[in-house]
Chains A and B, each alone.
Chain A
Amino acid sequence: MTVKRDAAATGSKRRRSHRSADSRTPWPLAVLAAVASTIFVVPLIGLIGSAPWRDLPNLIADEIVVDAIGLSLVSSLVAAMLSVILGVPLAWVLSRSRFPGQRLLRAVVTLPMVLPPVVGGAALLFALGRRGIIGEPLAEATGFVLPFSLWGVIVANTFVAMPFLVVTVEGAFDSVDRRYEAAAATLGANRFTVFRRISLPMIAPSLRAGLVLAWARALGEFGATITFAGNLSGRTQTLPLAVFVALEADRPRALAISLLLVVVSIVVLVTLRDQWWRR
């Protein structure tokens, strides 16, 4: 520990002593960078500055908000778990198997990362909605209807969040030193044992990062959710949806929920710092 801290200290000292030589910023870059920073700092100031600090506990304890918190937690956590259970095998297949259409599959899997979430929600509706190509036979056979239910929220969240996990974990599987897997195989481990006892533990840091990213994405999900699952208070209204509604009717409540989400996001960033942003 001490050794590490010492190394860090000398490192920073060295950096400081070189400051005059290499950290002068050309003015055009400085101006543009300042503008860029403003874009991120000002909204935060706006939020914090107009927050109804005194009423905050009451606003958050409101039944609608508490319902939304509960829904958001359940749906985002279940979506994150589904992303891991289904996404890790998908990432492995994309990284290790070779089959026709693999590139196409990879493109389709990453599509929700760039697709407008509303379009994603619409696509889900056309496929799994009451009149959808899968939804209709499903409803007729079992009476189970996905949209406008908690399961609808979870499906929408998973659809949007899982690609983040798949991309992160696939990259990790790509960069695993395959010789360790070969060594495990010579020791008698079959392919699944190698996956379970060698590959998976080796990518654990990336899996954690992917999990947190996917969960954060699910927590903030708005477009796909509102399109596919609707905006029913107490049933499908998650925190971002509650913010949207409150902006029209009850601005202090919108501010309170927004602050809550900012705090959660900062916690996520800090959690991830060591695994994701470390440079």
Chain B
Amino acid sequence: MIEDHGGLMAKIAIDRPAQPHQDIGFHLDLAFSIDPGETVALLGPNGAGKSTTVQLLAGLLSLDRGQISLGGRVLDRAGNGADQLFVPPENRHIGVVFQDYLLFDHLSVLDNVAFGPVSRGTSRREAKVSAAKLLELVGLSALAGSRPTALSGGQAQRVALARALATEPDLLLLDEPLSALDVTTRVELRAMLTAHLALFEGPILLISHDPAEAFGLADRILVLEDGRLTQAGTVDEIRRRPASRYAAALTGVNTLTGVSDRGAITLDDSRQHLQTFDRTSGSVQVTIDPRAVAVYRRAPEGSPRNSWSTTIEAIEPLGDIMRLQLGAPLPLLADITPGAVSDLSLKPGQTVWVSIKATEVLATKTGDDPEKNLDD
């Protein structure tokens, strides 16, 4: 059923019935796999079950249903009697970089990194030598003798990574590795993390609620909402066709609903019409990438199907692009280059023309909408 492909295969389910003091129980149910050398991000809002997933994989919680295997070795299998299997965390060979790093304050930085190998039976001297090498790799040799309390957030993060890598794990789990850091440090560390993750040969699972972190580091994204995977795909796939309102909000994709009549869509809220290339009929969710929304000073020539005039409500810089918030008749986000903003001398309050190619209007029948499925 499960092949040995050297990576992580996880089919995870947890059922926590409602408690007297909690109105709802918690159910986590997801399946995914990660190939060696691949970085997958598990992205979801708070309370979606991300931390529980980390604990299940690390062996700090046991499965109610399902199975976890790593490199062909079963780590946890729910079941009755002889079928059941649970490998305790110390025997899993999974490196975890925890959200708050959880460095041991009573040990020096060097001893923190050497802790794993020493616990696994490596001699103290040998472990310290390899720990010193890892500290050099993350650029912290000078702090080997310091206590973790003396470190900055960024330094602590690097020590935590070195400590996890020191055990030569078969899987690396990164729990919100950058979220506790300030913005400047985050940008620096993301670059460092990218470099180190590229060297790691096993599968990597990155847990995050920050799209910038996930999109920047991962090859593939799993979107976890309310204990279930609502979407899995590359960053680009999720950006083009977000399967839920949450995923759309993450990527800034415009999400609208309406009724399609063989490609002629009437939107629910604004009664505005949009033309799409997709000829299906019925209730649809419409997504439009902000980069596909073109902005002009005057009515565009030719015959774009979807074109109307609107006002700019706000302009905000977003990395190396500018994001426009467009007002009535159809509130949309449009991403354009800063050059275009100055060339067209765009300002908030200004009237502009918008045009969207029919091929950029993506309609998905809402019968298949995973968000609807969540409600049952």
For the A-B complex, the count of residue pairs with Cβ-Cβ distances under 8 Å equals 62
Taking the closest CB of chain A, its distance from the CB of B313, in whole angstroms, is 45
- With A184-B104, A186-B95, A187-B167: A197-B115 Cβ-Cβ less than 8 Å: yes
Q: Which stretch, A91-99, A158-166, A188-196, touches the partner chain B?
A: A188-196
A180 near B102: Cβ-Cβ < 8 Å: yes
**Residue contact A201 to B116, C-beta cutoff 8 Å:** no
B residues 40-66 near A (Cβ < 8 Å) are 55, 58-60
Partner of A185, one of B88, B106, B163, B164: B88
Chain B residue at minimal CB-CB distance from A185: B89
Given A189-B90, A189-B119, A193-B119: A183 touches B96 (CB 8 Å cut-off): yes
Question: B271 on the interface (CB 8 Å rule)?
Answer: no
Q: When the two chains form the complex, which single residue of B88, B98, B106 contacts A183, counting CB atoms closer than 8 Å?
A: B98
Contact between A188 and B88 (Cβ–Cβ < 8 Å)?
no
B92 touches which of A180, A186, A193, A197 (Cβ 8 Å): A186
Check A179 for interface membership: any CB of B closer than 8 A: yes
Tell me the smallest distance from the CB of A204 to a CB of chain B, in Å: 7
Q: Nearest Cβ distance between residue B320 and chain A, in whole angstroms? A: 38
Min CB distance, A145 to chain B, in Å? Answer: 45
* Neighbouring A residues of B247 by C-beta, 8 Å: none
CB-defined contacts of B163 to chain A, threshold 8 Å: 187
A187 and B116 form a contact (CB under 8 A): yes
Query: Does B94 interact with chain A (Cβ within 8 Å)?
Result: yes
Does chain A have a CB within 8 A of B262?
A: no
In the complex the two chains form, what is the Cα distance from A261 to B104 in whole Å? Answer: 40
Binary contact track B279-295/A, C-beta < 8 Å → 1, others 0: 00000000000000000
Q: Does B347 contact A (CB under 8 A)?
A: no
A202 at the interface (CB under 8 A from B): yes
Question: A197 contacts which chain B residues (CB < 8 A)?
Answer: 115, 119
**Whole-angstrom distance from the CB of B98 to the nearest CB of chain A?**
6
Q: Are B102 and A183 touching (Cβ within 8 A)?
A: yes
What's the nearest-Cβ distance from chain B to residue A192, in Å? 11
C-alpha spacing A190/B164, complex, angstroms: 16
Asked if B106 contacts A179 (CB within 8 A), the reply is: no
Main secondary structure of the interface of A (DSSP, over half): helix
Residue among A186, A197, A204 facing the most chain B CB atoms (10 A cut-off): A186
Complex CA gap A183/B120 in Å reads 14
The answer to whether B115 touches A179 (Cβ under 8 A) is no
State which of B60, B106, B119 has its C-beta within 8 Å of the C-beta of A188.
Answer: B119
Select from chain B the residue with minimum beta-carbon distance to A190. B90
Per-residue B-contact encoding for A183-227, CB less than 8 Å = 1, 0 else: 111111110010001100110100000000000000000000000
- List residues of chain B with CB within 8 A of the CB of A179: 98, 100, 102
Mask, B138-167, CB within 8 Å of A = 1, is 000000000000000000000000011001
Contact in complex: B92, A184 (CB < 8 Å): no
Cα–Cα, bound, A198→B116 (Å): 12
Pairwise interchain contact A186-B119, C-beta atoms closer than 8 A = no
Cα distance, A143 to B294, chains bound together (Å): 101
Contact B115 A185 (CB under 8 A): no
Return the CB mask of B72-95 against A: 1 if under 8 Å, else 0. Answer: 000000000000000011111111
Query: Which residues of the other chain, A, contact B89 by a CB distance below 8 angstroms?
Result: 182, 185-186
* Chain A: CB-nearest residue to B60: A182
- Asked whether, in the complex, the Cβ of B94 is within 8 Å of the Cβ of A186, the reply is yes
Task: Please give the distance in Å from B205's CB to the nearest CB on chain A.
Answer: 13
Q: By the criterion CB–CB under 8 Å, are B104 and A186 in contact? A: no
CB–CB B104/A180 < 8 A: yes
CA distance A107 to B98 in the complex (A): 38
Closest chain B CB from A133 CB (angstroms)? 42
Residue among B55, B90, B106 facing the most chain A CB atoms (10 A cut-off): B90
- Contact A201-B90, Cβ < 8 Å, known A183-B98, A189-B119, A190-B119: no
Chain B residues with Cβ under 8 A from A204's Cβ?
106
Closest CB-CB distance, A63 to chain B, in whole Å?
46
- Complex Cα spacing A204 to B107, Å: 13
* Chain B nearest CB, measured from A38 CB (Å): 45
Contact residues in B for A202 (Cβ distance below 8 Å): 106
Which of A185, A188, A197, A204 gathers the greatest number of chain B CB atoms within 10 Å?
Answer: A188
A236 CA to B254 CA in the complex, in Å?
87
Is B98 a contact of A188 with CB atoms below 8 Å? Answer: no
CB distance from B349 to the nearest CB of A (A): 51
Q: Which residue of B lies closest to A204 (CB)?
A: B106
Q: A179-B102, A202-B106, A204-B106 are in contact. Are A184 and B119 (CB under 8 A)?
A: yes
- CB neighbours (8 Å) of B116 from chain A are 187-189
Contact assessment for B104 and A188 in the assembled complex, using a CB-CB cutoff below 8 Å: no
Docked complex Cα distance between A182 and B167 (Å): 15
Contacts of B60 in A (CB 8 A): 182, 185-186
Q: How far is the CB of A212 from chain B (nearest CB, A)?
A: 20
Give A186 to B104 CA distance when docked, in angstroms. 13
- Give Cα A9 to B330, complex, Å: 62
Q: Which residues of A contact B88 (CB under 8 A)?
A: 185
A175 to chain B, nearest CB (A): 15
Q: Which parts of B148-196 form the interface with A (CB within 8 Å)? A: 163-164, 167
B93-122 to A contact mask, C-beta < 8 Å, 1/0: 111101010101011000000011101100
The 25 sampled A-B contact pairs (Cβ below 8 Å) are A179-B100, A179-B102, A180-B102, A183-B96, A183-B98, A183-B104, A184-B119, A185-B59, A185-B88, A185-B89, A186-B59, A186-B60, A186-B90, A186-B95, A187-B90, A187-B95, A188-B91, A188-B116, A189-B115, A190-B119, A197-B119, A198-B104, A201-B104, A201-B106, A201-B107
Residues of B within 8 A of A (CB): 55, 58-60, 88-96, 98, 100, 102, 104, 106-107, 115-117, 119-120, 163-164, 167
3 closest A-B pairs by CB: A187-B116, A189-B119, A185-B89
Taking A185-B89, A201-B107 as known contacts, 12 extra A-B pairs with beta carbons closer than 8 A to each other, sorted by chain A number, are: A184-B104, A185-B59, A185-B60, A186-B59, A186-B89, A186-B95, A186-B96, A187-B115, A187-B163, A187-B164, A188-B93, A190-B90
